[in-house]
Structure formats: structure tokens, C-alpha cells
Amino acid sequence: MDNVVDRLIRYAKVHSESDHYGRPENPSTLCQFDMAKLLVEEMKGLGIADARYDEHCYAYGTIPATPGYENLPAVGLVAHMDTTPDMTGKDVKPQVIKYEGGDVVLNKELNIVMEAATFPELKKFVGQEIVFTDGTTLLGADDKAGVAIIMQAVEELLAEGTPHGKICLGFTPDEEIGRGVANFDVEGFGADFAFTLDGGEITDYEYETFNAAGAVVNVKGQSVHPGFAKDIMKNAILIAMEYASLLPPMETPGQTEGYEGFYHLQEFNGGVENVRMVYIIRDHSMERFTERKAMMQKAADTINRRYGEGTVVAEVKDQYYNMYEILKDHMDIVDLAEAAMKAAGIENPTHSPIRGGTDGCMLTYKGLLCPNLPAASHSPHGRFEYAPVESLKTGVKTVKNILSPELLKTVKVK
């Protein structure tokens, strides 16, 4: 029998970085197929007959229900195979260190030290074994810890002969560049509901995401020689700054947390004639989200009254929505997650609002209800990413509990 740590290390060593500027469709990078192939091989090894991957690099596998348990809902388990392009995921050399407190020397030769002062969260894991990097790459526990937890839970369940309902496994490419579910085959997947395993701390699960929109604001100026500009010149740069100043100045990512939404000016490009600003707009509340989008237009109207119709054009496009809007009518799935975590020994599972989206929120809007479970990746997307061994094992227990007929029969989705 495998174990979850060996699995994480094995998967982490496979280079499967996604790329914003790679292929225009899934997968953005061909190296992600290496993960898909490996997982299909391993699923086949576990006896999952229909294990497969498609041309878009989605890997699927179905485990039919134990005879007599066909009435249980079919549970989907989803994790992403790619790692973020923000930090290299090539030649990952994971190491397991027993953490005794204080700073951690990740790499003596290169003098790469993880300082306890910068990562106070480490304190929670004193006395535990932790999977770290060698300081030169990310670990990729985001989300290979999720992959490892799912695969391990399934292997143990099958080996132990525990009865279960239908289980659907799905491993996706390109989550880190926002294209994780673009070609996800919800119908073929065959689950009644699902969970992504793509969270952090093993005690925290998630079912609320932002509502999200993007806005492109174009400002048209009028250039003329500054020497002859009186009453003629309209400087698009100054007008754009005026536009930006009409939005609530304290409602930016740098000044908000928890359930507080924001306007985020992401790009500002141009000159006297034209300026293009790119914003993202985020809010957990649908009502406030709608107000924020209206505010973008209101600001444009104000500027246009000052400088003439058509000076500012704001184009706002929705990106994704808070999955809670849908999940709130299916809270027995969320309760199932919490009960499974408790049964895995987590006394007080917590849930926090995600200040972003998940593959699960987009799947939820595609018709597959999908809250997010923790996967034990800490400080992801960088060289200091780590995954505590105990947490990984708790993750495996949580997934096995979710699949247990006892807890599952409390869910009424089917």
C-alpha cells in the first residue's frame, strides 16, 4: 500500500506548470499530460476500469457502487494537476523534515532559510514532520496534496473493502491560470455533487467565493500642441485619474479583508489621447456586487457630464459568482463535509470566505455542486510552500469519511 506522503512527493516531482501565455486551449502546457498519464496508470492499477484522460488533459475515473449501495449519491472528488507559473515547478526536490521550532534551513548550500518570524503559522506544527522544498522551487502541494489525498483515500477504501456509493474522480489542468473547468465534462463525470480538494489548513473548508467581474475602462482625450492647447486639450491621463478617484478609495485589496469587497485597478496604460484601465471588481454579496458594477458606470456618467459624452466608456463583464448563492439551498453537502472533518478528529472545523474563486464555484454554476475541502498546502505559490504530514493524513481520513455510507445517507441531493 502506498502512503499519502510518498504520493505527494511522487506527484510533486512531475513538472506540470500551467502557462498564461501557453497554448490557447486546455492544456496550456503539454507537460501537464505527464500528470494525467501517471494518474490514469495509477487509477488503472487500483482497478478503476474506465480511467482515462482526454485531449484537453482532463483525467477521469469512476468506481461503481458496492452492490446494494447504488442508492447512495455519487460523490465527485476533484483536484488540479497543474502548478502556478508564478514560481518554477521544475525539478522539485521535496524533503521531509521533523520541525522542532524556529527557522528551517531549506538549503544549506544556497543559504535558503525559512524564517519562523515571517511564517508564524509554522508554530502550529512544532514536533511534526513537514514536507518542504529545497528552497529552489515551489512544492506544488497546491494542488498535488489534493491529488494525493484523493488517490490515497480511494486506495485505502478499496483495499479495506469498505462499502461505498459511486465515486467519480476528476483531475483538471490549468486551474492556476483560471481555465480549470473550461472543458470539464460534467455530464460524463457522473457525480450528484462533488468536492474540490484545493484548500489550505486542514481544519478549514470553504463554500463561499467572491462574485467577480472585470472592467475595461477606455478614456478618450484630445491631444494638441501644449502651446496652443487652451480650451482644446483633453488629457486622457488626467481624466483617467479623475475617474479612478471617483471610486471609493478605501475599497481596494490592500485595505479590505474577510467579507469586504473591492475595486482593484490592475492596469493603467496610455497617453494624452487614450488611456486604458483594467479593473477587477469583487464582492461576496450579490447585492453589493451589483452596486459596485453600477458604480463603475456612474463614475463614467459623471466624467462624461464633465468632459462630453463618450469620453469614458466602461465595459464590465461578469467572471464568476459566489457558489454560496446556489449552495445555500443544499447545505446538507456542506454539513457532510463538516461531519466528515469532525469524524477525522478535527474538533472545530472552520469555514472562511474565499477572497477569490475556485474551480468548484465554476463547476457549481455548471450544475455540479462543489464546495472546497482543505488539502494542507501552506504558503503556496512560492519556495516556502509546505505540507504537514499529519494534516495530509487527516485529509485522507476526511475524504474516506465523506464516502462512508453512514454520513452519506444524510445527504438528500440524489
- Interface residues with Zn ion (CB under 5 A) are 142-143, 198
Beta carbon nearer to Zn ion, 4 or 376:
376
* C-alpha pair distances (Å), 5 with each of 124, 215, 347, 357, 395: 19, 43, 23, 27, 12
User: How many angstroms separate the CA atoms of 82 and 377, rounded?
Assistant: 14
Please tell me which residue in 142, 143, 156, 175 is annotated as part of the active site: 175
At its nearest, how many Å lie between Zn ion and the CB of residue 142? 4
Evaluate whether 414 touches 73 at the Cβ level (below 8 Å): yes
Among 97, 79, 199, residue whose Cα is nearest residue 148:
79
Beta carbon nearer to Zn ion, 349 or 374:
374
400 backbone φψ class: left, alpha, beta (φ>0; ψ -120 to 50): alpha
Q: What are phi and psi of 18, to 5 degrees?
A: -90, 170
User: How many angstroms separate the CA atoms of 398 and 390, rounded?
Assistant: 12
User: How many angstroms separate the CA atoms of 394 and 390, rounded?
Assistant: 6
- Distant-in-sequence, close-in-space partners of 312: CB < 8 Å, separation ≥ 6: 217, 218, 219, 220, 239, 243, 299, 300, 303, 304
Q: Does residue 175 carry a catalytic annotation?
A: yes
Please tell me which residue in 17, 42, 82, 176 is annotated as part of the active site: 82
Q: Does residue 385 carry a catalytic annotation?
A: no
Evaluate whether 378 touches 388 at the Cβ level (below 8 Å): yes
Residue corresponding to grid cell 499529519: 390
At its nearest, how many Å lie between Zn ion and the CB of residue 380? 7
Q: For helices 141-160 and 389-402, what crossing angle results, to 10°?
A: 50
User: How many angstroms separate the CA atoms of 278 and 393, rounded?
Assistant: 43
E-assigned strands of 115-153? Answer: 129-132
Beta carbon nearer to Zn ion, 156 or 174:
174
At its nearest, how many Å lie between Zn ion and the CB of residue 281? 23
At its nearest, how many Å lie between Zn ion and the CB of residue 80? 6
Beta carbon nearer to Zn ion, 198 or 385:
198
At its nearest, how many Å lie between Zn ion and the CB of residue 70? 33
Q: Is 234 helix (H, G, I), strand (E, B) or coil?
A: strand
Would you tell me how many other CB atoms lie within 10 Å of the CB of residue 236?
24
Q: Cite the DSSP H helix spans in 308-412.
A: 324-327, 331-343, 359-365, 389-402, 405-408
Among 173, 164, 169, residue whose Cα is nearest residue 150:
169
Beta carbon nearer to Zn ion, 61 or 357:
357
Beta carbon nearer to Zn ion, 80 or 284:
80
At its nearest, how many Å lie between Zn ion and the CB of residue 171? 12
Beta carbon nearer to Zn ion, 166 or 355:
355
- Catalytic residue numbers, as ranges: 82, 175
